[in-house]
Amino acid sequence: MNEILEAREKRANHIHELMEEFKHETIVIMKANVPGVNKNPKNMAFICRYFSELVHTTFGNKIIKSEKILSLDGDYMYFIINDSGNIVKEKTILIEEKNSLGRLVDIDVFNETAISREDVECETRKCLICDNYAHLCSRSKEHNDTEVFNVIREIISDFLVDLVLNKTISSIYSELDLYPKFGLVSRHDSGCHKDMDSNTFVESIFAIKPYIKEFILYGIKDLDDPLKLQEIGIEAEKAMLRVTLNVNTHKGLIFALGVFLPAFTKAILKQEDISYVKNEIKHIATVVIGEYYKNIELKEHKSHGDEIYLTHHLKGLRGEALNGFEILFGIPSFNETPSLLKNHEYLINLMSVLDDTTIIHKTNIETLNEVKSTFSELVDKGGYKSNVKLIKQISDDYIKRNISPGGSADLLVLKIIFEELKYLLQDC
């Protein structure tokens, strides 16, 4: 406990030094609000990453300096902001109050002195458990640590479910919004698919959404029973086929999300890095797929994917999952590129390297090799932004030739999710 008190005093001295150094700016100190002796629990470490992103979004180029400081009293971030102290305080209060996770973070603001909520006519923060003021319950130790941590776990769980689920659904819609799409279904047309359109996709998305939530909850609960994920995936497929009248809109995506989302969510909560995500994906995929390929020749009714494997030894999305979706993480980030343009770049890069078995199913292995070669050249020539006209021509040609890179589309959704939320991982 003495070490915590010393760390607390060290932080206070650091704040004073910052106020002396930056007399004409506003100082913001942000840390997770953690009860108990362990002030840096792993499952709360992502909170500062999340709110740091919100602070950067809110204040933008007014932030002249920021840094993370390690402390036994709880790691914290400081921001030096070139703006009025009261304005900064009002905006940070909005950041806290507009977000369900805001109850678990303290964002303190200093100018010449500390600026309180009362200074900007805002109500004092309430306790996590009761309706009393938080500082009163804290001083009197009204609630024990177990009670508080149970509430914290519930808040974190609800927040992550909402965050990852909403990002996943928006990413699926982002894939649908792309055009031109090289034979894939878009809001503009059905590509080369005569049995479905964008409305079919929307109905399918609504049908599988509850099961996507189950994939995320599996990761939050830190379960280790991948066969349970397989069960969820089977039920998701059934729901999809019911609303689409047996049209396969998202079968591949259901599998991909069922492997990716639990691994990704676990990594956020455990504050692990990309290597952990890859290894967890491999683990899940290995258990789910099991001896599938060893016994495939004995199957009485073989799928299109089975026949492709037996003929060409390509495993499609299953194979990519067994490899930890390495291909996904190998595609460059286009962080400075506008959203739609960025997603096109991701798709083009994926089509240049993926052994997309959907293309083989609808055409042949020669066409797949042609597609990979064509898109490798496009990547080398500057990607989408440098070849817009040519890409439209290629897309029109693929519709006529019945080419559809469905596997690339599924991985595109994962790539969008990952790029949007990777800042919550360790060292990303």
Residue 266 pLDDT exceeds 60: yes
116 and 160 within one domain: no
Cα separation, 373 vs 351, whole angstroms: 9
Cα separation, 161 vs 167, whole angstroms: 10
177 and 119 within one domain: no
Total structural domains within the chain:
2
109 and 76 within one domain: yes
Element (DSSP H or E) covering residue 65: strand 63-69
Do residues 424 and 269 make contact, with C-beta atoms less than 8 angstroms apart? no
297 and 255 within one domain: yes
Q: What is the CATH number of the domain that holds 362?
A: 1.10.4200
Averaged pLDDT for residues 53-71: 96
139 and 241 within one domain: no
Q: Which domain holds residue 109?
A: 2-143
187 and 125 within one domain: no
391 and 311 within one domain: yes
416 and 335 within one domain: yes
Q: What is the CATH number of the domain that holds 57?
A: 3.30.70
Residue 256 pLDDT exceeds 70: yes
121 and 37 within one domain: yes
Query: According to the model, what pLDDT value does residue 309 have?
Result: 92
pLDDT digits (tens, 9 = 90+) for 124-146: 888 888 878 777 787 778 888 78
* pTM as predicted: 0.93
Which of 218, 215, 264, 248 minimizes the C-alpha distance to 46? 264
Q: Residue 84: which region, alpha, beta or left (left: phi > 0; alpha: psi -120 to 50)?
A: beta
pLDDT digits (tens, 9 = 90+) for 153-176: 999 999 999 999 999 999 999 999
pLDDT digits (tens, 9 = 90+) for 81-131: 999 999 999 999 999 999 989 989 999 999 989 999 998 888 888 888 887
Collapsed DSSP state (helix, strand, coil) of residue 281 = helix
